[in-house]
Amino acid sequence: GGGIGGGGTAQAAWFTGGACYFYGQLLTVVAIAGASPMIVFVVKAVEPLSTALLAIPILGQRLNLALFAGLILACAGIITTYLGGHNSDEATVGLARSYSSSASLTVLSALLANLGFSGRACMVKQAYSRSGSSPLATLTTLSLTGTI
């Protein structure tokens, strides 16, 4: 029927989306704990692009040139910000190495968090189209599944 529970496919969407939400939150905290929040939020700013890219395999959307150009521009901005945070002074080589490794883990964690939140957004859209429930009920149910 049109209830929130749905069949096996709908339940798979709930659990997949809930897991994406959980890991998105967890990896955001890991990223913030790893290095400067500035780096985390610069990386997280490209989440709409990762959502658009995940919509291709999950929702059957098509990739367009404007999206691809935006992705390249955003990645260039992330790399510029990342490289701008490093100091090449000889006296701080050890600090720069530890910062570099920490920043790399931060960027990786933030990118994976983006994939988690993007996966959640795609699964919400998929679950909404299959369940027939209201958008708020769909999002709430999927988010609660991720917290359980």
What pLDDT is recorded for position 112? 92
pLDDT bin (cut points 50, 70, 90) of residue 113 is very high
Percent of the chain with pLDDT over 90: 11
Mean pLDDT of the 27-47 span: 84
Q: What is the mean pLDDT of the chain?
A: 77
Output DSSP code: residue 5: S
Residue 71 has pLDDT above 60, yes or no: yes
Q: How many residues does the chain have?
A: 148
Least confident of 20-34, 39-53, 83-97: 83-97
Q: Would you state the pLDDT for residue 138?
A: 77
- In this model, does residue 3 exceed pLDDT 70? no
CA dist., res. 4 & res. 133, Å (int) = 6
Higher pLDDT, 99 or 55: 55
CA nearest to 142, candidates 27, 19, 6: 19
How confident is the model over 116-123, as a mean pLDDT?
90
87-109 pLDDT, tens digit per residue, is 555 444 444 444 566 778 888 89
* Span 67-75, average pLDDT: 79
Give me the pLDDT at residue 7, please: 59
Distances (CA, A) of 12 to 7, 19, 77: 9, 10, 36
The pLDDT of residue 70 is: 80
Residues 6+ apart with CB under 8 A from 76: none
